[in-house]
Amino acid sequence: MSNPVALAIGAHPDDIEFMMAGTLLLLKDAGYDLHVMNIANGSCGTAVDDHDTIVAKRWQEAQDAAKTLGAQLHPPLVDDLDIFYTKDLLQKVTAVVREAEPTILLTQSPEDYMEDHMNACRLAVSAAFFRGMRNFITEPVRSATAQKVTLYHAQPYGLQDGLRRPVRPDLYVDITPVLKRKREALACHRSQKEWLDQSQGLDSYLVTMEDMCHEVGTWTGKFTYAEGWRRHLHLGFCGETDDPIREALGEKILVLNETNT
């Protein structure tokens, strides 16, 4: 019997490592096979390189990060800022979902500070929904799949929505034991430290990630570092009570809002 699969879909190289990699590492340790995909290639993540140079850099960095996570990396599909909710892009993302056949799909928050992030979320949700529709033709063509898949939304970057309202998760994952490995995966995105320092005034790329994880951890009153998740509605995806992250990670999980479980 093959291992269960967890697939993470983000907008740009480093989004997964920032907000999802701790949970992925714990799922890997629990016996899951990991797949990751950045829908965009990182083409705008630079103040100094031309398009082809930064795309090549970020593809190599994404490969290095995936290797650190022990995950299979799927190639990006479009340039940055070209992530739109279109049929052709849905066909391509759905093909990846059908190839991976995940029972857990991790993606970004429906509300975030950046349109690419929110559009990537919409694409991932729809692709998971379309996985079993035999008459929805993917690009490349992949056969429909019938497995149940449970979707989880990561925290938005900055832990608030675009109107500065705090976003609180329902499910918390204790990533303290794997924080060092998460940091190593994020550190693979070497070009982004300089870019984010210049474009967003971040003092330290890695410290910023740790600070966000620490803040989420403090919300639990229990974990030092945590990643937070909100579970998507089950309709069209899985059973109403399915919660495979909770089942796989056991004591590393804290659920604070039982009405949403």
User: What pLDDT shows up at residue 201?
Assistant: 63
**Radius of gyration (Cα) for the chain, nearest Å?**
17
Q: How does residue 45 score in pLDDT terms, banded at 50, 70 and 90?
A: confident
Q: Tens digit of pLDDT for each residue in 87-134?
A: 999 999 999 999 999 999 999 999 999 999 999 999 999 999 999 999
Tally the C-alpha atoms within 13 A of residue 125's C-alpha that lie toward its C-beta: 18
Q: How does residue 205 score in pLDDT terms, banded at 50, 70 and 90?
A: confident
Q: How does residue 202 score in pLDDT terms, banded at 50, 70 and 90?
A: low
* Residue carrying structure tokens 């797949």: 35
Mean of pLDDT values over 50-62? 97
Contact 41, 82 (CB under 8 A): no
User: Helices marked H in 33-170 — which ranges?
Assistant: 51-69, 87-100, 115-129
User: What pLDDT shows up at residue 6?
Assistant: 98
Instruction: Say whether pLDDT at 260 is over 50.
Output: no
Rounded to whole angstroms, the Cα distance separating 234 from 246 reads 15
40 phi, psi to nearest 5 deg: -105, 160
User: What pLDDT shows up at residue 193?
Assistant: 74
Contact 72, 61 (CB under 8 A): no
Q: How does residue 38 score in pLDDT terms, banded at 50, 70 and 90?
A: very high
197 phi, psi to nearest 5 deg: -60, -40
Instruction: Say whether pLDDT at 261 is over 50.
Output: no
Instruction: Determine the longest span between alpha carbons in the chain, in angstroms.
Output: 49
User: What pLDDT shows up at residue 32?
Assistant: 98
Q: Please state, in angstroms and as integers, the Cα–Cα distance from residue 212 to each residue in 35, 54, 138, 154, 155, following that order.
A: 24, 27, 37, 12, 10
Instruction: Say whether pLDDT at 258 is over 80.
Output: no
**Candidate from 15-29, 75-89, 194-208, 218-232 with smallest mean pLDDT:** 194-208
User: What pLDDT shows up at residue 203?
Assistant: 52
User: What pLDDT shows up at residue 192?
Assistant: 81
In sequence order, the 6+-apart residues with CB closer than 8 A to the CB of 200 are none
User: What pLDDT shows up at residue 257?
Assistant: 67
- How many Å separate Cα 172 from the centre of its chain? 15
213 phi, psi to nearest 5 deg: -65, -35
User: What pLDDT shows up at residue 137?
Assistant: 98
In sequence order, the 6+-apart residues with CB closer than 8 A to the CB of 2 are 33
User: What pLDDT shows up at residue 40?
Assistant: 98
Instruction: Say whether pLDDT at 164 is over 50.
Output: yes
In sequence order, the 6+-apart residues with CB closer than 8 A to the CB of 148 are 103, 237, 238, 239, 242
Q: Tens digit of pLDDT for each residue in 221-251?
A: 999 999 999 999 999 999 999 999 999 999 9
Contact 162, 113 (CB under 8 A): yes
Mean of pLDDT values over 48-72? 97
For the beta sheet containing 71-74, the strands, ordered from the edge strand earlier in sequence to the opposite edge, are 71-74, 33-38, 5-10, 104-107, 150-154, 226-231, 171-174, 253-255
Q: Tens digit of pLDDT for each residue in 64-77?
A: 999 999 999 999 99
Mean of pLDDT values over 145-157? 97
What mean pLDDT is reported for the chain?
94
**Domains annotated on the chain, with CATH:** 5-260 (3.40.50.10320)
